[in-house]
Structure 1
Amino acid sequence: MKKIISFVAFLTIIFAGVGSGLAATHTVNKGDTYWKIGIQYGVPVKALMSVNNAANSTLGIGQKLTIPASSVTSSEKDLLARLVEAEAKGEPYAGKVAVATVVLNRVDSNLFPNTVSGVIYQSSQFTPVSNGQINKAASTDSKKAVNEALAFRGQGSGSLYFYNPAKTTNTWLRSKTTTIKIGNHVFAK
């Protein structure tokens, strides 16, 4: 009986991580960069370099990289892509990335909920949640923009807000420090 319990404990330890977001590996191909790999897997470049003890951005063909598990689930990526689609449809691609980045910056800020879904569903924050547009499918560009924002995570100017000046008269929002303007959106912190 003791041997069976020990064997079950051993198997539990061995298989505990299976399917739970364990890190993957990537073999570097010609043309790969940390940036491209970060976008491919939807992981921050900083985390990718850190987990691989990279002192610089040099990669060698055939080099094996550990891909850290994403802190954002696939369902959260889908939700974020749907928000990006609804908020930035018709905006330049960079604007789509910036909208996704705002959500991720909020997740990382102590001023907002600490999950993508918590930020998106926080009361009165995003119009597409209240008007149902969040429920429409995301385009390929919006999905790609989410992965690019994830790769960019932890860099940039820290935008926590965005608005279209032609659609809002909110003086509090307009009083925030502008970080960048892309298309019809103003991004601020």
Structure 2
Amino acid sequence: MIKKLFISTIALASAFAFSFNVDAHENERVHEVSKGESLYKIGQKYGVSVAHIKEVNSKSGNEIVPGETLTIPYSVTEQDKELLARLVEAEAKGESYAGKVAVATVVLNRVDSDLFPDSVKDVIYDGYQFSPVLNGSINDPASEDSKQAVNEALAYQGHDRGSLFFWNPDKASNAYLEGKEVTTIIDNHVFAR
């Protein structure tokens, strides 16, 4: 009886230790730096901000060397990236690539802001914020361009002017938004904070 209890305890402890190790590595992956790469290019490839890569790797500068191994953290789930790409596609279809990156950046800035929910999904589905949610176009597939714009926005995260809003003044008029500080205008969209 004691032997069975001892074996069961060891098995349970081993299972717990194994699951702990899996969880510890679940939120990161490894990248070996190749010649010509930069932290920005690596961040864009994985959809992670440069600041987050630097933080996880205890880097204060941007210098990397070929052969160096970097830990790449996960930032948002693949499902959230896909959802954000569909929103970008619906909101910025026909706009430039820069406009698509800026739309994705607004959503990511909202996730980081105390004024909005704390996840990509919750920001996108937060009430009446985005017309594609209301008209169903959020369910249409995203183009490769929109998917790449999301990865670039993730890599660029934290280096913009803090835009939290955008609108097309030719399609919508809103005194609340028009009273915000304009951060940039790209194509047909005005971005503000």
TM-score range (shorter-chain normalised) is: over 0.9
Q: Residue 33 in 1 paired to residue 34 in 2?
A: no
Within a 5 Å distance, the mapping from 1:15-164 to structure 2 comes to: 15-18=19-22, 21-70=26-75, 72-164=76-168
2:148 equivalent to 1:177: no
Q: 4+ residue runs of structure 1 moved beyond 6 angstroms?
A: none
1:188 to 168, 186, 192: 192
Q: Specify the code of the residue in structure 2 equivalent to 1:66.
A: T
Q: Secondary structure at the match of 1:107?
A: helix
The whole-number CA distance in structure 2 between the counterparts of 1:38 and 1:14 is 29
Paired with 2:7 and 2:123, the residues of 1 have a C-alpha distance of 48
With 8-17 and 75-84 compared, the bigger mean Cα shift is at 8-17
Q: CA RMSD in A?
A: 1.4
AA of the residue aligned to 1:152? Y
Whichever residue aligns with residue 42 of structure 2, its letter is I
Cα distance in structure 2, aligned partners of 1:6 and 1:95: 56
Higher helix share: 2
SS at match of 1:16: helix
TM-score by length of 2: 0.93
Unaligned runs of 5+ in 2: none
The letter for the 2-side match of 1:120 is I
1:119 offset after TM fit, Å?
A: 0.6
Deviation for aligned residue 1:8: 2.4
Distance, in Å, in 2 between the alignment partners of 1:2 and 1:150 is 49
Question: Structure 1: which amino acid aligns with 2:93?
Answer: K
In structure 2, the CA distance between the partners of 1:49 and 1:86, relative to structure 1 (3 Å rule), is same
Task: Give the TM-score of the pair, scaled to structure 1.
Answer: 0.95
Q: How many residues align?
A: 188
Separation in 1, partners of 2:65, 2:34: 8
In the aligned structure 2, how far is the partner of 1:149 from the partner of 1:58? Answer: 21
Report the identity percentage.
53
